[in-house]
Structure 1
Amino acid sequence: MTGEEMHALVRRLYPLCRSITGDGLRRTLEIIGESAPLRLTEVPTGTKVLDWTIPREWNIRDASIKDPSGARVVDFQESNLHVVGYSVPVHATLSLDELRGHLHTLPDQPHLVPYRTSYYAETWGFCLSQDTLDTMGEGPYEVRIDATLADGHLTYGEHVVPGESAQEVLISCHVCHPSLANDNLAGVAVAVALARRLAELPERRYTYRFVFAPGTIGAITWLARNRERTGLISHGLTLACAGDPGRLTYKRSRRGDAEIDQVLAYVLKDRPHTLLDFAPYGYDERQYGSPGFNLPVGSLTRSTYGSYPEYHTSGDDPDLVRPEAMEDTLETLWAAVQVLEGNRRYQNLSPYGEPQLGARGLYGSLGGRSDTKEAQLAMLWVLNLSDTEHSLLDIARRSTMPFAALADAARSLQNAGLLKEWIS
């Protein structure tokens, strides 16, 4: 998928009213499934998932605040951010003073509408711009939220790209936010593009599992239902805020020095970026990295949560998301995949002195190549550090040579009988 195709997916998903349950979430997963077929799981209300319980399902049809003339001052049909997520049904006539406790604005950003939710406390409310609130008289106002909160299901989707090994790379995206293009739709679009590109590879070392689930409760539900198989996860990333113009940011896993942490630090070193240590706040890396699981799952974003002015507001619209930024995020992920796929440890089978490469045709086979000197040096580095203790990524970091050149050298040396892969 190109950046424009990813952006088109963001625009298509943007109007849907998503939440942690409900038809908007299902429709979102249905659209994702058109490009990356999903296996859907529905977990009933009341199901215990670790220390949590699946809540009732929320669906909304319409909502508004009408002034005395009948005009819609606040209209859910214009933006689904206008209603506090999980608002209970209400139909009442109230003065502005009576209504104020249910209104949410951003006085410091008076033209924007905030995003607010109340998943686990039954209440209701509206979000509007401060500019709109400042124009409202004393009323009375007709207030209506046409919604249901009833037993139902929490839904999540999985897409698996199989590999030679049962060991998995986990890519997790939250899909619960309404009309927020960067957080979370850009991450969803990039994940779909990555899944499609992986499927085009003739072979894959790892199995790649993409999880599209509501934030927090969705990841917790997936972990509760897959507790016995989490040991298959060798590497993982949560992906969000993938399309804004900010620099790339990687937050390390709870382990801090997992292979995925080393890989992302390596592929980001030549790009503008920020590296952060793990903290138990942010996206679902904190669920995968909770102490009982301690999975090697980091977080890749551009701007981080809460760090850009449009975060969790109506300003996080498709115009904020840039096709070229999503392409850059995708290419960074692809570079990480290539390192993960190729990173191995080897044993030098001729470790006493430097083996005669020319006699094995390894120097001669390089004749005419524009990168002959680099290829020869890569062979020497691989031979010298293939002591079963150093991976190709270790060698790349120490030698400052391109990982791809070292991987090519290792293949040539293995074919010549000078190396064998070390399986600990």
Structure 2
Amino acid sequence: MPEDTHNFLELTRELCQFPSGVVSDANAALFDRINVEVPLEFFRYLSGESFNGWEVPKNWRVKSAELWRGDELVFDGKAHTLGVGRYSMPFEGELDWEDLKPHLVTNADLPDAYMFHCMWQYRPWDADWVLSIPYKVFTQLGPGRYRVNLKTEYESGEMLVAHHIKKGQSDKTIVMHSNTCHPHMANDGFAGTAILIRLFQWLAKQETYYSYRLVLGPEHLGTVFYLRDLPLEEINSLVCGIFEEMPGTMGPAKATSTFLGGHVVDAAFENALRHYSRDFVMAPWRMGAGNDEVVWEAPGYEVPFVEFTRSECIDRPFKEYHSSLDSPGLMKVAQLNEMYNILQQVILTLENNAVMHRKFNGLICLSNPEFDLYKERPDPTVAKNITEESEKWGHLLDCLFRYFDGETTILDIATKHDLPFEDLRRYIARFEEKNLISLSFHEISKSKAKHV
């Protein structure tokens, strides 16, 4: 069994203990726990605030959630945080089975699961009421008369969002983002958060050109209000970003492209996935799980954003999705380690990408001991210590000198020749050591967003 050297599972278990939400009594304790790992700056948005039709909901609590058939209590929604649909209205009364059924949420494919009904926290104006009942309980119900005792309350509160900034040499910033509003859920939630926390602890020890910003908050709503209040100058310093979640199940590592595609962060992900994952998918924009990248890329912000998950399909990213079975026990350490390693490789690629400037004319004899830069290719008459990759490297040498044009980047070459960026970077650095080229850092550019 792979070793959990970064303690992803332990941190995930701790974060999953909190019954968090968009606005929740537990949010302060959750963020305080994260603050122990990385220092956070907090942003607070009061219930009732609105922007572009989005509303910060009130703090919602369940006081009782009982379903009775005669004198028998057949279901108690307070037995689990997900037992009542989020933001359900109170209801007390008697219903026949056919009238009750539309108010029961269940999933026959997950007979032990409470399902996460969350729509009304985004659409409070549509709120009705539902009970989330495991299918094995649901099958014991049926025709008859039922009494519902659902007492919920609403109180003004605040939505918490936080960020942590790792300063680099430049104010140009790469954003990493995770949600905090899925109570007790690991894959669709806190395992992704745990990976980003560990990534920023690693970044704290690195000398970086770019600054890095970890943003944590409720899905969509947190990002909508966080970006609403950022000055335009600050928004334009955000050169790209990554939304990361669903890291621990057995699906392939999946990166969805930025909205326009063709961005350097897209290329960095493709290279890292090709060479550091067991299985991967490069998907079009919004064809992963679909998350806050749509907020970051909205007009007036236009921050190029990749979503990085193991989503198997957009409508059902993994079997236990949005259910009480999405627990820390579902997480596979090898999958968590792989996601972390890929994110590291993406960062190292962006931090080390460079353009090559030629200092010679003509064809260099790379096998000459003066240079010693030749990559051996197969020869039927000579025994050589070569690998399956040798022909790729050999073909690279047929092309390489033309890439020393002051425009082509190392990542461009790695993409074209299907070579690991870091191996290629080290090889090209030897050309600079031989004074054949000079290297200049390739800085990520971003078109300026405009507010209207």
Give the structure 1 partner of residue 106 of structure 2. 105
Residue number among 332, 347, 350 corresponding to 1:337 in the alignment: 347
- Deviation digits for residues 309-343 of structure 1, max 9, x if unmatched? 21112222222211221111101111111111111
Residue number among 220, 224, 241 corresponding to 1:220 in the alignment: 224
Give the structure 2 partner of residue 198 of structure 1. 203
Distance in 1 (CA, whole Å) between partners of 2:221 and 2:95 is 37
Q: How does 1:295-306 map to 2 (within 5 A)?
A: 295-304=303-312, 305=314, 306=316
Unaligned runs of 5+ in 1: 365-369
The 3 A distance-change label for structure 1 pair 290 and 412 is same
Residue number among 243, 252, 257 corresponding to 1:247 in the alignment: 252
The 3 A distance-change label for structure 1 pair 299 and 422 is closer
Unaligned runs of 5+ in 2: 374-384, 444-452
Q: Give the partner amino acid of 1:207.
A: S
Aligned length: 412
Give the 3-state SS of the residue equivalent to 1:94 in structure 2.
Answer: strand
Give the 3-state SS of the residue equivalent to 1:80 in structure 2.
Answer: coil
Q: How does 1:11-410 map to 2 (within 5 A)?
A: 11-49=13-51, 51-60=52-61, 62-67=63-68, 68-69=70-71, 71=73, 73-76=75-78, 78-88=79-89, 90=90, 92-95=92-95, 97=97, 99-117=100-118, 118-119=120-121, 120=124, 121-136=126-141, 138=144, 140-141=146-147, 143-145=149-151, 147-201=152-206, 203-228=207-232, 229-270=234-275, 271=277, 272-279=279-286, 282-304=290-312, 305=314, 306-350=316-360, 352-354=361-363, 363=372, 384-410=402-428
Q: CA deviation at 1:141?
A: 3.4
**So what's the TM-score if we normalise by structure 2?**
0.81
Give the 3-state SS of the residue equivalent to 1:353 in structure 2.
Answer: coil
Q: Give the partner amino acid of 2:328.
A: P
Q: CA deviation at 1:354?
A: 4.5
Q: Give the partner amino acid of 2:215.
A: V
Distance in 1 (CA, whole Å) between partners of 2:405 and 2:137 is 68
- Deviation digits for residues 41-60 of structure 1, max 9, x if unmatched? 002233343x1343232242
The 3 A distance-change label for structure 1 pair 422 and 284 is closer
Distance in 2 (CA, whole Å) between partners of 1:108 and 1:363 is 61
Give the 3-state SS of the residue equivalent to 2:298 in structure 1.
Answer: coil
Which stretch has the larger CA shift, 395-404 or 150-159? 395-404
The 3 A distance-change label for structure 1 pair 152 and 246 is same
Give the 3-state SS of the residue equivalent to 1:84 in structure 2.
Answer: coil
Which stretch has the larger CA shift, 154-163 or 308-317? 308-317
Contact 1:94 1:143 in 2 (8 A): no
The 3 A distance-change label for structure 1 pair 360 and 136 is same
The 3 A distance-change label for structure 1 pair 385 and 100 is same
Distance in 1 (CA, whole Å) between partners of 2:365 and 2:141 is 85
Give the 3-state SS of the residue equivalent to 1:65 in structure 2.
Answer: strand
Q: CA deviation at 1:408?
A: 2.6
Contact 2:116 2:324 in 1 (8 A): yes
The 3 A distance-change label for structure 1 pair 223 and 382 is farther
Distance in 2 (CA, whole Å) between partners of 1:163 and 1:354 is 39
Distance in 2 (CA, whole Å) between partners of 1:194 and 1:251 is 20
Sequence identity percentage: 20
Q: CA deviation at 1:206?
A: 1.0
Distance in 2 (CA, whole Å) between partners of 1:129 and 1:213 is 29
- Deviation digits for residues 269-313 of structure 1, max 9, x if unmatched? 133111111138711111112244332101100124523221112
Q: CA deviation at 1:265?
A: 0.8
Give the 3-state SS of the residue equivalent to 1:235 in structure 2.
Answer: strand
Contact 2:22 2:57 in 1 (8 A): no
The 3 A distance-change label for structure 1 pair 62 and 244 is farther
Distance in 2 (CA, whole Å) between partners of 1:123 and 1:401 is 55
Q: CA deviation at 1:13?
A: 2.1
Give the 3-state SS of the residue equivalent to 1:135 in structure 2.
Answer: coil
Q: Give the partner amino acid of 1:248.
A: A
Q: Give the partner amino acid of 1:346.
A: M
Q: Give the partner amino acid of 2:239.
A: S
The 3 A distance-change label for structure 1 pair 423 and 173 is closer
Contact 1:46 1:53 in 2 (8 A): no
Q: CA deviation at 1:254?
A: 0.3
The 3 A distance-change label for structure 1 pair 316 and 422 is closer
Give the structure 1 partner of residue 440 of structure 2. 421
CA RMSD of aligned residues (A): 3.2
Contact 1:105 1:113 in 2 (8 A): yes
